[in-house]
Structure 1
């Protein structure tokens, strides 16, 4: 059953305040199941569906698109509240918002295609940032007619099998980062190798290997210098810190 169909069966939590809803979900749903999730091979679909039904996949999206439209401090508080219930569930869910931010800042055509389904959680995203990591690029982008070909690896891709689309970052020969959306599906040009983790095994984290993987120009969210991408990426470290803050708060 696709996410959109499953969401119709969820009852909403009663509190109108997003933080209170997050805390209620953490206390009543996520924390009681946390040890079972830790021993599973992936996060139960019902937990991610609940977050979508409660609007949390649209954490910072405009309300007109089905989002919560909260500010950054409120978003961090919500992440901490959810992480206090289940680190793994929150870790998988958190990856989604990088793609949402990219679509919000991207071309109008991408916003029209992707913003509403991403904000409502009927389509879910992960990130594959191999080309953006410091040092020699692990994932390269080569311009070809109609788009780009991607070659290389992207380690630590979380949520495999639970996401519909990847926001991929690859580096071209001008040291620019090309970011684009591509289906989260294995095929002749994209393979996923599961990684053994000491914790959060249910996050279904994999290493992606891409070989002449084509992304159309219409799915490119941005092309920017690597140094600029790194500066923006550093600003996102605060949200990662919210995961740890939530765990110790419990």
Structure 2
């Protein structure tokens, strides 16, 4: 089955993403390329600071923020409903001070209307990472779903699915089938980065839920709920150490789709060794 794919929020000109995204610091590695960092969330306001100026705290109304996903670094759950970044849609007190320190060049021309306009029609429940390092210790998964629609930059591809379809195919793309597709179809760039072009992504195998029985759909949704809170280790560790939840995801997913458990048990260790070798080599 082919699926519709769309480009993410285009973070240009340079510096626009610094003015747009507030990075959630639930993993220290996520802050490497961050500019605005989340400090605290309250009922009506969100507090944040510039990474290299932590003593100066800014605040904005919660109503002026929207859910976002800025980077896959340290995202170790495929369900990101409760682990989101933010995108700012309106001016806040002190925003001009932030602008002065940002890399946005034509500062006299910046307004948050630029970001608001870029956000139009850029909402999704499901994304795949486009440019990332599969062999990084900070990469655990590459397809993500949220119950809440969110915005992601163009380093992601939007998969235009919702609800049941999106959940089942988030499992599919993160399963051993999805990782095999990733390794076979990716384009290698500098520093072991993988760049998944749209022409590659449309070749990935996805599940056509219309061909599944109600029982299969129910079982896959139960598997999703069973694993959605699990924090996966890095991709390399998942396959090299045959981590329990990786084996559970692949075994149950393939079994629900009709493969015999005995055959799955024979194949997975061999496939895992091949994937580990490929990840370590490239």
What TM-score do you get using the length of structure 1 for normalisation? 0.28
Which entry has the higher C-alpha Rg, 1 or 2?
Answer: 2
What TM-score do you get using the length of structure 2 for normalisation? 0.26
Q: Which structure: greater helix fraction?
A: 1
